[in-house]
A and B are shown apart, each in its own frame.
Chain A
Amino acid sequence: MTSPRDGTDNPIVSVRDVRRDYPVGAERVHALQGVSLDVARGDYVAIVGPSGCGKSTLLNLIGAIDQPTSGSVTIAGRHVESMTDREATQFRLLNIGFVFQRFYLLPILSAVENVALPMAEAKVPKDERVKRASELLEYVGLGARLRHRPSELSGGEQQRVAIARALANRPSLLLADEPTGELDARTGTEIIRLFQRLNEDGTTLVVVTHDEDLASAARHKIHMRDGRVVES
């Protein structure tokens, strides 16, 4: 369990005795078996463990894109398990940024349009969202690539666009699932530095990774095995 950095007793993420089962064929997989943890505001947490240990499942629950079979997940004071789909969607839009291993940029949109997409969904006026998207791309070092499409960008550049997109609506929590998984070592290092900078600038980060360098850059590590937290 990690400690709050801001001196308050209210962690931004609070997971209590969470279980998550799902069917695979005729069987039920127990992906999480009673996980509890807290993440403080401004913290930088890496969740590590072998494949299939439940890291991504836990991240999905913290990101309000899945609901626990039992237990409770509280993010910024809101209970994920009691949210309707509409509430969860709106919550994610305004409070959570996602970065995925495969970037998942829309190939038909330019870098600045990809970053502006969540802001358009949040009904930010067009001028304002283009300005902020451009600023975010400057922040991640892609000021000269605003109009480029994903196919015209390298893997590292695409991941930086995805990070800028995740920051679009000023989320209180940034979640990343294997963000360096598809990148070479040098590009991975750039992303690690970018995450550190984001955290220093006040962003709370939770990262699921196999990458030792990325995990080491985090303030706290949570080790998982067989659907349980074994060390934190």
Chain B
Amino acid sequence: MRGALAQASLIRHRARTGLAVLGVAIAAAMLLDMVMLATGMRESFRELLLSRGFQLRLAPKGTLPFDTDATIPGVSAIIATLRTNPAIGDISPVLGASIHVLRSGRDVSGSAIGINPVVQGDYELVSGRDLKNADDIVLNDFMWRQLGARFGDTVTVALGYDPQTRTYSGQRRLVLVGLVRFIYGANDQPGAAVRRETLESMGTAGASAGRVLRDRASLFMVRVRNGNDAEQVRNWIEARIPSVSAISIATAIAQVDERLSYFRQLALILGAVSLFVGFLLVTTLVTVSVNERAGEIAVMRAIGVSRSHVVQQIVIEGVAITLLGAVLGLGLGLVTARYLNTILSAFPGLPMAIDFFLFQPRAAWSALGLLVVSGIGAGIYPAWRAASLPIAESLRREAIA
């Protein structure tokens, strides 16, 4: 009966209830978006790191992967050391360098990685074929378009360019064999990949330009075999190979968390503000409704309706408005998040796979739970007012009115 009375009371003022629901929906959408934003980048980054199954990254001591031009010397020795640990599976050394790709008079500069195509975890082949020979090169779509490239074209790739002498160093002729999508790379920056030994040989040829790349790597990606603890392996590596910082997914996430903390705090504050606005909206609406119905409530109490039942009815009204708004807000929030994600993902320099707003059912349930709690809270004050109305006094006021 209480539910029916609450429902009927809300239906009585359809327009007002509708506007309140809409207001709560907007606050709920904002809250959901902020919750998605606060956790989205972190989760998206975690999924990105785990997407190829490499749980550990080894970067030059004290750096993050590709944070600097620093490289790790002694790749062969490091691989040999790593192989002594049976918990370690695949090892993928990655060498990074800046390159110039020359074709038909065009010079497109970008970044290149040297990898072992058998165990690489840096790109996905879109079309063509993967690296097989030492003279093969694959490009991302951006560089492909900049060069106006075609499969089978031969291009000149150089590691350095001296503007004084207008000469390129570390040159090598390579054949375009594939179009790829870099998992960690931005879609608006030119990128290429060759076999690691190819990049090393170019480094040797261009040593006079200042870069020695032989037996060096910018990064190692390491798979830990199933059933082994990545953190234990990480500690083992750091203890045995002093030239590297071993970064596990958890460490990387912690570092990302640290860098994104202000961003996350802002999202949480905005989310809290949305929640509070929704709370105030429902409190105001239900309080106005209670004030309008003071006489009606006094009569209900006079004919024997208990205080607790009056409270329940008012709280149900608050929760009903909040729930309706929350359901509507969920849809609205998802649409808004998708739209905003499209805009933010186009930001220069970001990996394509990074999402700012990541829908997680748990986060959505948390937002919904918060809203329901705030709906109950929003109903408490007006319910308390309704329950504590002095019956005789309210009736007297009504009679005078």
Assuming A108-B5, A108-B12, is B392 touching A66 (CB within 8 A)?
A: yes
Q: B227 to chain A: closest CB distance in Å?
A: 61
CB distance A121 to B309 under 8 Å?
Answer: yes
Is B11 interfacial (CB 8 A cutoff)?
Answer: yes
CB distance B304 to A92 under 8 Å?
Answer: yes
Query: What sequence of 0s and 1s flags, for each residue 331-372 of chain B, a beta carbon within 8 Å of any chain A beta carbon?
Result: 000000000000000000000000000000000000000000
CB distance B399 to A101 under 8 Å?
Answer: yes
Assuming A108-B5, A109-B8, A120-B1, is B306 touching A89 (CB within 8 A)?
A: yes
Q: A117 to chain B: closest CB distance in Å?
A: 7
Assuming A56-B399, A104-B296, is B303 touching A92 (CB within 8 A)?
A: yes
Nearest residue (CB) in B for A61 is B392
Is A107 interfacial (CB 8 A cutoff)?
Answer: yes
Query: What sequence of 0s and 1s flags, for each residue 65-103 of chain A, a beta carbon within 8 Å of any chain B beta carbon?
Result: 110000000000000000001100110111011101110
Cα distance A85–B390 in the bound complex, in angstroms: 11
Is A153 interfacial (CB 8 A cutoff)?
Answer: no
Is A11 interfacial (CB 8 A cutoff)?
Answer: no
Q: A5 to chain B: closest CB distance in Å?
A: 26
Beta-carbon contacts under 8 Å, A93-133 to B: 93-94, 96-98, 100-102, 104, 106-109, 117-118, 120-122
Residues of B within 8 A of A (CB-CB), count: 26
Cα distance A66–B301 in the bound complex, in angstroms: 12
What residues of chain A lie closer than 8 Å to B306, measured between beta carbons?
A: 86, 89-90, 121
What residues of chain A lie closer than 8 Å to B309, measured between beta carbons?
A: 121
Nearest residue (CB) in B for A120 is B1
Is B119 interfacial (CB 8 A cutoff)?
Answer: no
CB distance B303 to A165 under 8 Å?
Answer: yes
In this complex, which of B1, B303, B307, B309 has the most chain A Cβ atoms within 10 angstroms of its Cβ? B303
CB distance B9 to A98 under 8 Å?
Answer: no
What residues of chain B lie closer than 8 Å to A117, measured between beta carbons?
A: 1, 300, 303, 305
Q: B149 to chain A: closest CB distance in Å?
A: 72
CB distance A57 to B392 under 8 Å?
Answer: yes
CB distance B303 to A166 under 8 Å?
Answer: yes
Cα distance A90–B305 in the bound complex, in angstroms: 8
Is A134 interfacial (CB 8 A cutoff)?
Answer: no
Is B229 interfacial (CB 8 A cutoff)?
Answer: no
Is A33 interfacial (CB 8 A cutoff)?
Answer: no
Beta-carbon contacts under 8 Å, B283-330 to A: 295-296, 299-307, 309
What residues of chain B lie closer than 8 Å to A57, measured between beta carbons?
A: 392
Is B395 interfacial (CB 8 A cutoff)?
Answer: yes
Is A60 interfacial (CB 8 A cutoff)?
Answer: yes
What residues of chain A lie closer than 8 Å to B296, measured between beta carbons?
A: 104, 106
CB distance B304 to A169 under 8 Å?
Answer: yes
What residues of chain A lie closer than 8 Å to B396, measured between beta carbons?
A: 56
Cα distance A8–B8 in the bound complex, in angstroms: 47
Nearest residue (CB) in A for B305 is A121
Is A63 interfacial (CB 8 A cutoff)?
Answer: yes
Beta-carbon contacts under 8 Å, B386-400 to A: 390-393, 395-396, 398-399
Query: What sequence of 0s and 1s flags, for each residue 146-182 of chain A, a beta carbon within 8 Å of any chain B beta carbon?
Result: 0000000000000000000110010000000000000
Cα distance A93–B5 in the bound complex, in angstroms: 18
Beta-carbon contacts under 8 Å, B1-58 to A: 1, 5, 8-9, 11-12
CB distance B399 to A89 under 8 Å?
Answer: no
What residues of chain A lie closer than 8 Å to B1, measured between beta carbons?
A: 117, 120-121
Among B11, B304, B395, point to the contact of A89 (Cβ < 8 A).
B304
CB distance B391 to A66 under 8 Å?
Answer: yes
Q: B232 to chain A: closest CB distance in Å?
A: 63
Among A22, A94, A100, A107, point to the contact of B395 (Cβ < 8 A).
A100
Nearest residue (CB) in B for A90 is B304
CB distance B5 to A65 under 8 Å?
Answer: no
Nearest residue (CB) in B for A109 is B8
Among B11, B304, B398, point to the contact of A121 (Cβ < 8 A).
B304
Cα distance A101–B398 in the bound complex, in angstroms: 11
Beta-carbon contacts under 8 Å, A41-65 to B: 56-57, 60, 63, 65
Q: A211 to chain B: closest CB distance in Å?
A: 16
What residues of chain A lie closer than 8 Å to B398, measured between beta carbons?
A: 102
Assuming A66-B392, A100-B395, A104-B296, is B5 touching A122 (CB within 8 A)?
A: no
Cα distance A118–B396 in the bound complex, in angstroms: 22
Which B positions have Cβ atoms within 8 angstroms of A?
1, 5, 8-9, 11-12, 295-296, 299-307, 309, 390-393, 395-396, 398-399
The 3 closest A-B pairs by CB, nearest first: A93-B304, A108-B8, A66-B392
Q: Could you write out 10 A-B pairs with CB less than 8 Å apart?
A: A63-B302, A89-B307, A92-B302, A94-B304, A101-B399, A102-B399, A104-B296, A106-B8, A108-B5, A121-B305
Query: Apart from A96-B304, A108-B8, what 18 extra A-B contacts exist at CB < 8 Å?
Result: A22-B393, A56-B395, A60-B395, A65-B302, A65-B392, A86-B307, A90-B304, A93-B304, A100-B299, A101-B399, A102-B399, A108-B5, A108-B11, A121-B304, A121-B306, A121-B309, A122-B304, A165-B303
